[in-house]
Amino acid sequence: MEKIGDQEVLSFSLDIDDRTPDPERLLRAYFHSATTLNHLRGLLTSGFASLHQPRDWSLSHVRSPSLKNEFENIVEDLTDALDFSRTIGQDAGASFEHGGARSTVGEVDFYTSHEGLMLEYEQALTRECPVPKSVSTAPNQKGYYNTSAHFLWIGDRTRQIDGGHVEYFRGIRNPIGIKVGPSMKSDELIRLLDIVNPDKISGRVTLISRYGAGKVENYLPDHIKVVKASGHPVIWVCDPMHGNTLTSSTGLKTRHFRTIINELTSCIRIHSECDSRLGGVSLEFTGELNDEGFSVTECLGGSMELSEEQLGLRYQSFCDPRLNFEQSLDVAFLISNHYKNERRGKKKELEKDVLFTELSGSNGK
């Protein structure tokens, strides 16, 4: 760790001389961030995110035959839906990557977000800008926007009612998030919402729950109940990563896919039981590959059944362990399958769901 002001910040350098605070490093980081975003935008507008060829998705990493069969069924359902759309003219013509027009199937909206931790940095990137006419309440209205990201959140360790982070977030017009963990008291949560969103504007606040698989049952229902009673319009998002960190027998910081899935599925069920709705999922994952073309090995389990002995093969994170490409695809398939069953009116019990049973390790593996 290195100290900048009164904040401890991760330093990846082993040389003590490199840990002296240097503003030039912030500028270099800003340059690389901007370059990366421009590269991603270029990819996303060139068909990189296209759904037109789902059969091209590789499922070679899936070891369980029954799980692979379920994944293939989802791919076939998606392929059939795309074929039907083309048949009735909803998705007529060539795809964008083949010279056609842009479409919702061929590209995605892309936004950035991060924890607003270093207030000095965030303040330096805050600008007074005209409020868009679609949301303004007065002619020529202006407001303060943080331009370092579209969406920022307050961490579980910096959400003190009288702290500087809450005060800063109160003053910006960006949509914001608040991490909600086991230490969050119900009355404290409502006081926070009253401060950062006194006018109860829809879409202003997202509550990101991060309890841990073993604690979500004890805290989430009450938090949902008090928020509903307060009248605050919030979007609920599940972060099944940060409450489920452990240390492997070899000393590596890791997470088990089983507990990630358990917290996520518990959140979905609890929201349904509380007449609420889970609006999103916050995951830490990467598509990063090593020089040989293999994914990172930082989280245990998943359809590739990553073991503790395999963690050290390609452990590349400097901070938190991330899901790799294959494991993130597992999560996407699980969520897709759940909402497909819900849409079709199927009340399938989790213990009888093949995807959940296989991915959560409930089959005795």
Cα distance between residue 361 and residue 351, in whole Å: 11
pLDDT of residue 364 exceeding 50: no
Other C-beta atoms within 10 Å of 18: how many? 12
Q: Minimum mean pLDDT among 118-132, 185-199, 298-312, 339-353: which range?
A: 339-353
Query: Strand order of the sheet with strand 151-154?
Result: 113-115, 151-154, 176-180, 205-209, 234-238, 278-281
Domain ranges of the chain: 22-51
Cα distance between residue 342 and residue 246, in whole Å: 33
Stronger pLDDT, 37 or 16, i.e. the higher one: 37
Average pLDDT, the chain: 83
Pairing of strands 176-180, 245-247: unpaired
Pairing of strands 253-256, 245-247: antiparallel
Model confidence at 210, pLDDT cuts 50, 70, 90, reads very high
> What's the pLDDT at 356?
63
For residues 317 and 299, the answer to whether their CB atoms sit within 8 Å is: no
For 254-270, how does the pLDDT look when each residue is reduced to its tens digit (9 = 90+)? 999 999 999 999 999 99
For 289-300, how does the pLDDT look when each residue is reduced to its tens digit (9 = 90+)? 777 778 899 999
E strands within 187-265? 205-209, 234-238, 245-247, 253-256
Q: In terms of C-beta distances under 8 Å and separation of at least 24 residues, what long-range contacts does 226-232 make, across chains too? A: 226/186, 226/187, 226/189, 226/190, 227/189, 227/190, 227/193, 228/274, 228/275, 228/276, 230/190, 230/193, 231/200, 232/190, 232/193, 232/197, 232/200, 232/205
The CB-side HSE value for 198 (13 A sphere, CA atoms) comes to: 5
> What's the pLDDT at 115?
95
Residue 52 DSSP class: S
For residues 355 and 67, the answer to whether their CB atoms sit within 8 Å is: yes
Percent over 90 (pLDDT), the chain: 48
Rounded to an integer, the average pLDDT of 72-91 is: 74
For residues 134 and 150, the answer to whether their CB atoms sit within 8 Å is: no
The CB-side HSE value for 67 (13 A sphere, CA atoms) comes to: 25
The SS3 of residue 81 is helix
| Residue set of the binding site for Mn(2+) | 242, 284, 320
How far apart, in Å, are the Cα atoms of 240 and each of 103, 267, 317? 31, 9, 18
pLDDT of residue 42 exceeding 60: yes
pLDDT of residue 241 exceeding 50: yes
Rounded to an integer, the average pLDDT of 246-255 is: 92
Model confidence at 76, pLDDT cuts 50, 70, 90, reads confident
> What's the pLDDT at 8?
57
> What's the pLDDT at 250?
87
**Residue 117, φ and ψ in degrees, nearest 5:** -95, -55
For 319-334, how does the pLDDT look when each residue is reduced to its tens digit (9 = 90+)? 899 999 889 888 888 8
Stronger pLDDT, 109 or 273, i.e. the higher one: 273
> What's the pLDDT at 77?
79
Threshold 0.95, pTM exceeds: no
pLDDT of residue 223 exceeding 80: yes
pLDDT of residue 153 exceeding 90: yes
Cα distance between residue 278 and residue 211, in whole Å: 15
> What's the pLDDT at 365?
46
Cα distance between residue 365 and residue 207, in whole Å: 34
List b or e across 188-220, with b for residues whose CB sees 16 or more CB atoms inside 10 angstroms. ebbebbeebbeeeeeebbbbbbbbbbeebeebb
For 96-112, how does the pLDDT look when each residue is reduced to its tens digit (9 = 90+)? 555 555 565 556 778 89
| Residue set of the binding site for phosphoenolpyruvate | 179, 210
> What's the pLDDT at 353?
63
> What's the pLDDT at 7?
55
pLDDT of residue 144 exceeding 90: yes
Model confidence at 351, pLDDT cuts 50, 70, 90, reads very low
Determine the length of the chain: 365
| Residue set of the binding site | 179, 210, 242, 284, 320
For residues 114 and 152, the answer to whether their CB atoms sit within 8 Å is: yes
Q: Minimum mean pLDDT among 24-38, 122-136, 349-363: which range?
A: 349-363
